[in-house]
Each structure stands twice: as structure tokens, then as C-alpha cells.
């Protein structure tokens, strides 16, 4: 990615000369071209980070890729906005005219600039709605739909880059590099975000076979498919599920497997939090299911020690329950499950059985977060050798963050802490 950035900057620099820089508005125009190219390049990179590219996912883990995507996200917006302003200022100076008339001229006369302006508007909308304060107020589905318009924005912006960008107008090599990068990114997105999930869904032909109540507000859905031995999934991973019935087709939701696949059967367990999760209790046997995945780094592949500690908050036990089943022989678990009420503790008997068969220990903490705190002191008391374990945790974000502090407090190195949060 660094190399690509270097080539992109070199493209921008090589299309300038001392003459163009010294001309009226030359510096602003040159900076405008540079910010446009670098901004677009970063945009492609940030798209690739969440394109579900298997090699990247294996190397960095999806959670980390999403974190990088969020961190990188605002930069293309600032840079492309700067590009629009600087180019307008530079062109206005060169024409010895005003900035506003030049902006109007660019949009109405220059080829493809109107489409690029619409693209900039969509980009800014996606940026604003992803801003933490705005995002908290939006439904996930609304935010996601607006985010999808970014693909349209990218397509709208391409033409003006190739027809108007100085670097591309002069050099066929530059044009080939830029188009290659775009086509490469589009190919990765099309194959891994759309093609592969579609192919997998058709291949496995999953259908709901049973829906049962697992606890208060919690539903287990069992699905049957074919050739599930070919679905590469480990205990602790999740898939994005799309139940093919009214109201569920457009949006896929992530749910972890709550058990390892058993022959041709898959199981998920879901707590009703909003429209989608609550509606799963009403799924009818026979409903077709499309899937994307499996994703997630909460698997035994990252274990480096022969002892593990699993910390689960509420329905966060689902991936850990499957992970526990998938632990290699000789890895000894301590499992701590936290729930507000006794009846919210899911899979108690299954957990007790799995823990016992692996020579481990199960601790159940029941009570409100205030009453039953899992701080460093309590952790030391429950798991005196915690610092020597690989730790996996899953639950609501606030809880998981608090546990991370406690784990650091008892000396667990960061690289031995693996977590997944299910949102607020
Ligand atoms: C990796 C992962 C694994 C998960 N595994 C499980 C599980 O095994 N069992 C379980 O009960 N829950 C699980 N969840 C949480 C579950 O995905 C959400 O509770 C569910 O999608 C909420 O949708 P809703 O329409 O019912 O509620 P809403 O009211 O729309 O949302 C409630 C919360 O879920 C978040 N959310 C909504 N839709 C999505 C989405 N498509 N992707 C990510 N977050 C979303 C929202 O931002 C909000 O914080 C998991 C979440 C993630 C990220």
C-alpha cells in the first residue's frame, strides 16, 4: 500500500514542471491534483480493507481491518474536498477571474466534473453519517445504505480523473496504472463481497429447520445445508446471515455460530435487541438462508499458550461456546460467564460438560454490572494464573473494554487478548 502511495505521488509530481508551478494559480492547481490523486488512492485502499479479501483477513483479522478502515476513512474526504477547492482557486487565478464563476464553469462546461461533484456530495454524506455522533442517532440499516452509495460515488468520479487529470492526459502509462488499480479494486470487491457469498449460498443451500426459545428473549435457529464440510469455519467465527423472507432480504446481520457445525447442521443463538434479531423467533422452517463468511479471528488458531481464559457477557457466550468445542486437546480452559439474571445464562449444561471434558473450570457471575464487577482484584481471585493465559472475550462493547483494563491490570499482554464486541 505504501508502494502504491509512492507511485501515486510520483504520478502527480511528474506531471508538474517549474513553469506550471510558477504560472498564476500553478501552485494551487498542483496541490489540487496531488490531493485529488492521494485522496482517491486512499479511498481505494480503505475500500480494499473491508473488501473481505481472504489473505488480508487472515493476516490482520477483520476487526483490525475495520478499525484501520475507520481511521483512514476521513482522510480521502478531506483530501478530495481540498482537491475541489484548490483546483477551483488555481483555475480561477489562471483565468484571472473569480472563484465562484470558475466553480460554475467547471461544473457546467468541463467534461464529467458535474458527475464528480455529485460523487463528492455522496462522499461527504457518507463521511458525516459515519461520524460517531451522527452514527449513534442513525439506524444501522440507514447508515449502511448511505455507505453503499460510495460505490456509485467511486464510479461517478472515475471518468473526470482520466479525462481531466493532467497526469493521465499526458501519459498512457499513468492511465494504465490508474485504471489497473481501479479495476483491481473493483474486481476484489465484486468477487469477495458479492460473487463468493452468492456462490457459497447457492452451493450450501441452507434452510431453517428449527427455531426454539433458548432463554428470555433469546432464540436458537438451526439450519440444514449440504456440503458444510466445505464451508471453512472455525469455532468462534461468525457469518453474515440473510434470511430470505420479507424484511430480511436486503440487510445481512452478523451472528456467531453457537456450536461447531454438526454434519449438515448449523446453529446460531440470537438475543432480541431490535427489529431483525427479534423477528428471528418468527422464522418458519423451510426459509432459505444466504450467508457471507465465515469471518472473525476469535479462533484457536491464535492460541500460543496451553491455557486459555474465556470471558463472556450475556449472549457473548455464543462464539465462545463454539470455540470451547473447537479447542485443541491439551488446552485447558477457565470460562467465566457473566449475566444480569440466572435465567440469562445460556448453555449452562453444555458449557459445564465441555469444560469438564477439557479439564477446565466454569465460573458463573450473576448480577448487575455494578453489583458484580470483574475488575483486576476479582480476576486475580478467580484466575490467579490469568497472566499466563490466552484470553478470549465477547460481549457488549462497554463490558469488553472494562475487562480489557482488568486483564492488563493483572499483567496479560495485549497480544494475548482476543476480543469481539456485539455493539453498544
Ligand atoms: C461479529 C458479530 C457477531 C455477533 N454475533 C451475535 C450472536 O451470536 N448472537 C447475537 O444475539 N448477536 C450477535 N451479534 C449482534 C447482532 O448482530 C446485533 O444484535 C443485530 O444485528 C442487531 O440487529 P437488530 O436489527 O435486531 O437491532 P438494531 O436495533 O438495528 O441494532 C442493535 C445494535 O446492533 C448493531 N447492528 C445492527 N445491525 C447490524 C449489522 N448488520 N452489523 C453489525 N451490527 C449491527 C447496531 O449498531 C446496534 O448497536 C453479533 C455482532 C457482531 C458484530
How many angstroms separate the alpha carbon of residue 275 from the centre of ligand 1? 10
> Which region among 57-61, 79-83, 215-219, 363-367 has the lowest average model confidence (pLDDT)?
57-61
Does residue 163 have a pLDDT over 80?
no
Residue 169 pLDDT grade (very low, low, confident, very high; cuts 50, 70, 90): low
User: pTM to 2 decimals?
Assistant: 0.84
pLDDT in tens, 287-299: 999 999 888 889 9
Average pLDDT over residues 163-175: 75
Does residue 411 have a pLDDT over 90?
yes
pLDDT in tens, 182-240: 999 999 999 999 999 999 999 999 999 999 999 889 999 999 999 998 888 999 999 99
Q: Which atom of ligand 1 is nearest to the CA of 251?
A: 41
Query: Ligand 1 test: best mutation among 65, 145, 235, 255, most atoms within 8 Å of CB?
Result: 255
Query: Ligand 1 test: best mutation among 138, 223, 277, most atoms within 8 Å of CB?
Result: 277
Q: Which atom of ligand 1 is nearest to the CA of 279?
A: 26
Average pLDDT over residues 353-365: 93
Query: CA separation (Å) from 4 to 11, 42, 250, 345, 381?
Result: 11, 10, 35, 50, 51
Amino acid at each position: 500500500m505504501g508502494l502504491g502511495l509512492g507511485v501515486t505521488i510520483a504520478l502527480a509530481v511528474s506531471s508538474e514542471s517549474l513553469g506550471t508551478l510558477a504560472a498564476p494559480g500553478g501552485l494551487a492547481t498542483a496541490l489540487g491534483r496531488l490531493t485529488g490523486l492521494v485522496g482517491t488512492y486512499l479511498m481505494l485502499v480503505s475500500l480494499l480493507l473491508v473488501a473481505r479479501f481472504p489473505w488480508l483477513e487472515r493476516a490482520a483479522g477483520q476487526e483490525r481491518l475495520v478499525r484501520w478502515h475507520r481511521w483512514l476513512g476521513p482522510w480521502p474526504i478531506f483530501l478530495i474536498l481540498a482537491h475541489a477547492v484548490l483546483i477551483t482557486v488555481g483555475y480561477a487565478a489562471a483565468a484571472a477571474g473569480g472563484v465562484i464563476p470558475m466553480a460554475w464553469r467547471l461544473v457546467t462546461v468541463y467534461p464529467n466534473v458535474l458527475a464528480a461533484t455529485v460523487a463528492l456530495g455522496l462522499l461527504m454524506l457518507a463521511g458525516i453519517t459515519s461520524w460517531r455522533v451522527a452514527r449513534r442517532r442513525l439506524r444501522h440499516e440507514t447508515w449502511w445504505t448511505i455507505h453503499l452509495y460510495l460505490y456509485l460515488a467511486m464510479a461517478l468520479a472515475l471518468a473526470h480523473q482520466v479525462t481531466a487529470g493532467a497526469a493521465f492526459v499526458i501519459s498512457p502509462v499513468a492511465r494504465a496504472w490508474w485504471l489497473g488499480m481501479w479495476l483491481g479494486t473493483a474486481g476484489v470487491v465484486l468477487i469477495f463481497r458479492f460473487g463468493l457469498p452468492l456462490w457459497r449460498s447457492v452451493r450450501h443451500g441452507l434452510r431453517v429447520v428449527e427455531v426454539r426459545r433458548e432463554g428470555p428473549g433469546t432464540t436458537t435457529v438451526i439450519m440444514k445445508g449440504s456440503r458444510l464440510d466445505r464451508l471453512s469455519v472455525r469455532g468462534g467465527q461468525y457469518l453474515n446471515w440473510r434470511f430470505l423472507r420479507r424484511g430480511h432480504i436486503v440487510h445481512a446481520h452478523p451472528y456467531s455460530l453457537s456450536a461447531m457445525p454438526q454434519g449438515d447442521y448449523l446453529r446460531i443463538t440470537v438475543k432480541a435487541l431490535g427489529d431483525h434479531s427479534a423477528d428471528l423467533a418468527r422464522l418458519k422452517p423451510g426459509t432459505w438462508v444466504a450467508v457471507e463468511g465465515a469471518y472473525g479471528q476469535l479462533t484457536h488458531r491464535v492460541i500460543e499458550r496451553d491455557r486459555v481464559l474465556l470471558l463472556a457477557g450475556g449472549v457473548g457466550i455464543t462464539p465462545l461456546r463454539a470455540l470451547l468445542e473447537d479447542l485443541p486437546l491439551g488446552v485447558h480452559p477457565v470460562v467465566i460467564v457473566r449475566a444480569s439474571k440466572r435465567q440469562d445464562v445460556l448453555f449452562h449444561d453444555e458449557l459445564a460438560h465441555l469444560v469438564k471434558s477439557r479439564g477446565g473450570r466454569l465460573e458463573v457471575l450473576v448480577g448487575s454490572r455494578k453489583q458484580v464487577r470483574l475488575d483486576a482484584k476479582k480476576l486475580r481471585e478467580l484466575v490467579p494464573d490469568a497472566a499466563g493465559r490466552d484470553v478470549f472475550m465477547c460481549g457488549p462493547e462497554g463490558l469488553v473494554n472494562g475487562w480489557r483494563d482488568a486483564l492488563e491490570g493483572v499483567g496479560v499482554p495485549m497480544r494475548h487478548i482476543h476480543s469481539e464486541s456485539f455493539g453498544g
